Structure 1
Amino acid sequence: MIRPIVKDILFLGRKAGRASSKDRADGQDLLDTLVSHRENCVGLAANMIGSTKAIIAIYDGEKAMVLYNPVITNHSPTSYDAEEGCLSLAGRRPCRRYDWVEVKYEDESFHKKKHRFKGFTAEIVQHEMDHLEGILI
């Protein structure tokens, strides 16, 4: 189900709680909402659709995927300055991002996975994971 995008900064500022298999519907709604905004969106965090769970949906190239309970376990020694927009907030803001990030997460079946995201996809992951911490960019 496609859900409306939350713009309430007090809600967006909350830290996400751990997701469980009971939250699969939120993950699917997050993915549906991401796909519906494909023209102007490359990633979403669950709080952007009204859920308080640690779930993100991203595009890794052309493939849309959902990550439950993602945690950055390693990152590149180098970083760069970026400017990012967000569906929940007007305008663009400066931030600093790592060139790559290694992430442990659970897939849609709640199997543990580990993946190294590089380049623009790494930037997307970092932005959405900031949302899970209540950090607004």
Structure 2
Amino acid sequence: MQREIMTSIPFLSQPSVEAENTEADLAVAQDLKDTLDTNRNGCVGMAANMIGMPKRIIAFVDEDLGGRITVMFNPRITAQDGAYDASEGCLSLKGERRTIRYQRIEVSYADRKFRERHATFIGFTAQIIQHEIDHCEGIII
């Protein structure tokens, strides 16, 4: 189900809690995916707190997989290199902001079946994931 986009800075500034392998958190992931799909014309990634659910769940458009939306539960960046200056926008905020991103990242996360995964991402996909993990940490970009 598509949800409304959260714009409350105090809410978005709070770190999210770990997602669990429950029907409720799987439903949040589906709502997140549906909301991202609806907003695809102006958005390439979302975190669950952007739809009012303070859980460590992100979804992003993965161009390396033909534009499929990928969902990660409890993502954590374990390695990064190739720092660069970026300017990013966000559906939850007006305008763009500058930040430091990394060209290559490694991420540990759980998939939809809560199997532990570890993957490397580069380029724009890596940038999207970094932005959404910042949301999970309560970091506003």
Per the normalisation by structure 2, the TM-score is 0.95
For 2:102, the equivalent position in structure 1 comes to 98
CA deviations 1:34-75 (Å, max 9, x no partner) are 000010000000000011110000111011110000010111
User: For 1:126, which of 109, 112, 130 is the aligned residue?
Assistant: 130
Counterparts in 2 of 1:4-15, with a 5 A limit? 4-15=4-15
For 2:73, the equivalent position in structure 1 comes to 68
After the TM superposition, list the runs of 4 or more consecutive aligned residues in structure 1 that deviate by more than 6 angstroms: none
Per the normalisation by structure 1, the TM-score is 0.98
Segments of structure 2 that go 5 or more residues without pairing to the other structure are: none
Deviation at 1:21, TM superposition (A): 1.4
Segments of structure 1 that go 5 or more residues without pairing to the other structure are: none
Aligned-partner SS, 1:21: coil
* 1:38 correspondence with 2:40: yes
Letter of the structure 1 residue corresponding to residue 16 of structure 2: A
Aligned-partner SS, 1:99: strand
CA deviations 1:89-134 (Å, max 9, x no partner) are 0000001100011000001111111111110000000000000010
For 2:59, the equivalent position in structure 1 comes to 57
Cα separation, 1, equivalents of 2:35 and 2:118: 24
CA RMSD of aligned residues (A): 0.6
